[in-house]
Amino acid sequence: MSSMNIILFGPPGSGKGTYSSKLSPILGIPHISTGDIFRAEIAKKSELGKKVEPLLKVGTLVDDKTVIEIIKSRLKEKDCKKGFIFDGFPRTLEQANEFQKIAKIDLVVNLVLEDDIILEKALARRICEKCGNIYNVADIKRKGIKMPPLLPKVVGKCDKCGGNLIQRKDDNEKIIMDRLNTYKKQTEPLLKYYKKEKLIKDVPVTMGPEGMVPLIHGVIKEHFKSK
């Protein structure tokens, strides 16, 4: 097997970040989240952070050129040799086209869930302000879906580093709906692009991470078995 270049694709709040961070050590490839990179730059108050902060606040996409530069420099790091899991990249056709000039994608795992569930999940997301680890306080049981909450051991504190759990500034109802619209207009059309190359595996999200992570891992193993 030469590489494992994977995109975890899906609407905002579908679980891309949680699943990617859990799959990364299992698969031995890094989890690359452009959203996490931007949030870290904002926390550092770097030039890039200052530039993108207002965009992230309202859920507007960062320009393609900036995103591609970030991805290019991240892929130069040694840990990407065997592959990577992209979470939140690419988000536009332009990004996908530009990326194709640098490397190829082997698999797109497309997380499928309905809008009302997306909204409920995103509103209930909590993240550690220090390390970005993700939690969720929603307990969703309907339409064949069973997603228990993902709670920390100590209320309001991160299990990994003890940092405070906060709500992302862009996880409020208005901005989630705007991000969902942006996803439908600018990102979802990418599915057609990857469908042509027969790279997509649809995976409905019906369980919490303890069920979804092994399920997605199985899909990935099956796909790369013959490579």
DSSP structure class, residue 163: P
Which runs of E-coded beta strand occur in the chain?
Answer: 4-9, 31-33, 83-87, 107-112, 125-128, 134-136, 140-142, 145-147, 165-166, 200-204
Q: Is 126 a catalytic residue?
A: no
DSSP structure class, residue 187: I
Q: Is 91 a catalytic residue?
A: yes
Rounded-to-integer distance, Cα 51 and Cα 28, Å: 33
Choose the stretch contacting ligand AMP; rule: CB under 6 A; options: 90-98, 103-111, 127-135, 208-216.
90-98
User: C-beta of 154: minimal distance to ligand AMP in Å?
Assistant: 25
Nearer to ligand AMP, 55 or 224 (CB): 55
| Tokens (6 digits) for 71 | 């991805």
Residue 34 makes contact with ligand AMP by CB under 6 A: yes
Helix (H, G, I), strand (E, B) or coil at 51: helix
Binding-residue total with ligand AMP (CB under 6 A): 18
Residue 111 makes contact with ligand AMP by CB under 6 A: no
| Tokens (6 digits) for 96 | 């996908």
AA identity, residue 147: M
Candidates 6, 7, 56, 118: give the one binding ligand AMP (CB under 6 A). 56
Rounded-to-integer distance, Cα 163 and Cα 195, Å: 41
Task: State the residue for tokens 């092994």.
Answer: 214
Residue 31 makes contact with ligand AMP by CB under 6 A: no
Choose the stretch contacting ligand AMP; rule: CB under 6 A; options: 20-28, 84-92, 123-131, 137-145.
84-92
Exactly one of 39, 91, 121, 126 is catalytic; name it: 91
Residues 152-211 that bind ligand AMP (CB under 6 A): 170, 179
| Tokens (6 digits) for 131 | 């390390």
**Catalytic machinery residues:** 16, 91, 125, 168, 179
Residues forming contacts to ligand AMP in the complex (CB under 6 A) are 12, 34-35, 38, 55-56, 59-62, 67, 88-91, 95, 170, 179
